[in-house]
């Protein structure tokens, strides 16, 4: 993986699933202010973890696309016209 997560860091899927549960708990209400704040803080950390995973995935994809176009920027190798649409 491009992102070196520590062993204690959840995978993207784990973090997202837990984030969904945190949001549900906050939306359901019935928690004290202190519990709500703790849930919010946990949600912020989980959202950051998810964003880190997505940023890492984007960097990996960009690296592959950059390698496919070659060092001289030749987009003919990928069939890309540089506008995000296939050439042709």
Q: pLDDT tens digit string along 32-61? A: 999 999 999 999 999 999 999 999 999 999
Domain range for residue 53?
12-71
pLDDT at 79 over 60: no
The whole model's pTM is what?
0.67
Asked, for residue 85, whether it belongs to a domain, the answer is no
Distance CA 41, CA 33 (A): 12
Asked, for residue 65, whether it belongs to a domain, the answer is yes
Scored b (16 or more CB within 10 A) or e, 14-24 reads: ebbebbeebee
Asked, for residue 31, whether it belongs to a domain, the answer is yes
Asked, for residue 76, whether it belongs to a domain, the answer is no
Asked, for residue 67, whether it belongs to a domain, the answer is yes
CATH number at residue 55: 1.10.287
Query: What local confidence, expressed as pLDDT, does residue 80 receive?
Result: 52
Asked, for residue 80, whether it belongs to a domain, the answer is no
């Amino acid at each position: 993986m491009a992102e070196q997560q520590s062993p204690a860091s959840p995978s993207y899927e784990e973090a997202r699933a837990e984030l969904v549960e945190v949001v549900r708990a906050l939306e359901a209400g019935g928690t004290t202010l202190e519990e709500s704040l703790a849930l919010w803080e946990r949600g912020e950390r989980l959202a950051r973890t998810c964003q880190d995973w997505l940023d890492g995935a984007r960097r990996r994809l960009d690296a592959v696309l950059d390698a496919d176009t070659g060092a001289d920027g030749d987009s003919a190798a990928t069939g890309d016209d540089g506008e995000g649409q296939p050439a042709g």
